[in-house]
A and B are shown apart, each in its own frame.
Chain A
């Protein structure tokens, strides 16, 4: 039993607290979960549920007040080192806000390579663009010359250019039109298959999470509500009333007379 490989990500009793005294807010309250290598784990909840804060805590961007985060069985140290950023990368919700507006795509993609001392930058950038389905002609354009979907492809290319094993995805398609969302989700699925990536996928959209993830954790007000195995949503095998309410809401409006 002890020979089983360590989970790629393990979060134990993670607690994140902002502010002090009367302004003290417990944003994440003793949340635990495990993500196996090569799998995709979903965090789903409404605003204020703490789902994004969990991702930020893993990156070292939120004040952790308690609990542990382990990557491949090794607890994270206080400061995230270069090895961590090579292994774990994040894609944010807003492709308009997460790319430097005055840097060309080329510069955006070469920066992480320079920081980590990669030599064959030219080849890697060309490959990264083709991997995310962008024409090489985009390389010397600025973000504002790209559509929202194209920018999100650049953000994904930037995250993947260091060949990480873990991708933290924070509502990566919420700012996109439905047809573009489908393209980006397909791209993310393909990349995960091809590179055996591990995803931690945050979304408010149950259908997106069910489509993209093997297992998922429902969160509310900083706490874990329940963890669901593959297929539990579609078979409606859920325990909590909150998850049931979320599922009902995701089906759309029910007219009083039809109910």
Chain B
């Protein structure tokens, strides 16, 4: 059905070349993403940047979620060898949700407020197959247990407003993972959560990457968190990737923007002196 799959090297799940996202504004075209290129395998890749850096737009563009008038162009955008650029909507929908999923930042806005958790998970399952009611129930309960929800029976019957932020985000993740995707794009999945809950959610994601060999794109503004959680980090500035670095070597970052982002964070025991601020330079725009 699809075009002849282009062979990509062994473990690469996603391959992106020269990805751009453009919006037309009254002042002319604005490029939110300007020619980014990267590959993602069965690993944790962090995309880090400040607001407006194009990190979320990159995630959305991969899944074809940039709505017109936004325009997405790329010289290559393949998932498991399938060219996502030319894919008809129906086939794109089959990949999205089933093979590639996305978790958004705030569970309050991404869960349907008038549907029980159980129905929402069932919906995700039905879109991608014809499971029996018994199977839906079993898989839903299993998935909720897997994301460390202690009383899955109750949560299945609950409405989103009856859940805490941490629970809601776990339900979101359960919903996105119940179809067992090969790649998960998580856009600030823990930013709305308390630090202690945040770590619980990260542990779940970490476990899924290890056990299922899932690929993960972790989009975040939190450089420190990403450096401790991911394998590799892409640093974005004004729509471009200015630096790509192994997460554990982030402290050796070369680009002044990455260094600036790291240095401007207050540290425990860092004293009360002024924090170094970021001096933005024109040259970074074209880095």
Contact = CB atoms under 8 A, between A and B. Distances in A.
A112 B227 CA distance: 45
Nearest to A246: B195
A111 interface: no
A148 B52 CA distance: 12
Interface residues of A, number: 36
A183 B224 CA distance: 19
B268 A183 contact: no
B151 interface: no
Given A177-B221, A182-B277, A46 B196 contact: yes
Given A47-B194, A181-B264, A186 B277 contact: yes
A211 interface: yes
Interface in B150-165: 165
A250 B261 CA distance: 17
Nearest to A177: B50
A252 B268 contact: no
B228 interface: yes
Nearest to B257: A179
Given A207-B268, A256-B206, A178 B50 contact: yes
A251 interface: yes
Nearest to B49: A177
Q: Is the interface of A mostly helix, strand, loop or mixed?
A: helix
B276 interface: yes
A114 interface: no
A250 B274 contact: no
Given A179-B277, A253-B202, A255-B206, A210 B268 contact: yes
A249 B274 contact: no
A204 B193 CA distance: 11
Given A207-B266, A253-B229, A178 B165 contact: no
A247 B201 CA distance: 18
Contacts of B165: 47
Contacts of A182: 264-266, 275-278
A178 B194 contact: no
A253 B225 contact: yes
Given A249-B195, A252-B227, A253-B228, A189 B274 contact: yes
A234 interface: yes
A218 interface: no
A249 B197 CA distance: 9
B267 A207 contact: yes
Interface string B19-53: 00000000000000000000000000000001100
B81 interface: no
Interface string A229-259: 0010111000000000111011111111000
A183 B229 contact: no
A108 interface: no
A252 B266 contact: no
Contacts of B277: 179, 182-183, 186
A185 interface: yes
Given A210-B270, A253-B225, A253-B229, A178 B265 contact: yes
Contacts of B278: 179, 182
A185 B227 contact: no
B267 A211 contact: yes
B120 to A, nearest CB: 24
A178 B261 contact: yes
A101 to B, nearest CB: 19
A245 B196 contact: yes
A212 B270 CA distance: 10
A247 B196 CA distance: 10
A206 interface: yes
B163 to A, nearest CB: 14
A186 B267 contact: no
Contacts of A252: 224-225, 227-229
8 closest Cβ pairs, A-B complex:
A234-B269, A252-B228, A211-B266, A182-B264, A179-B278, A46-B194, A249-B195, A182-B275
Interface of B: 50-51, 165, 194-196, 198-199, 202-203, 206, 221, 223-225, 227-229, 260-261, 264-272, 274-278
27 contacts: A46-B196, A47-B165, A177-B221, A178-B223, A179-B50, A179-B260, A179-B277, A179-B278, A186-B274, A189-B274, A207-B267, A207-B270, A211-B271, A211-B275, A212-B272, A231-B269, A233-B269, A234-B269, A247-B268, A249-B195, A249-B196, A253-B199, A253-B202, A253-B206, A253-B228, A255-B228, A256-B203
Interface of A: 46-47, 148, 177-179, 181-183, 185-186, 189-190, 204-208, 210-212, 231, 233-235, 245-247, 249-256
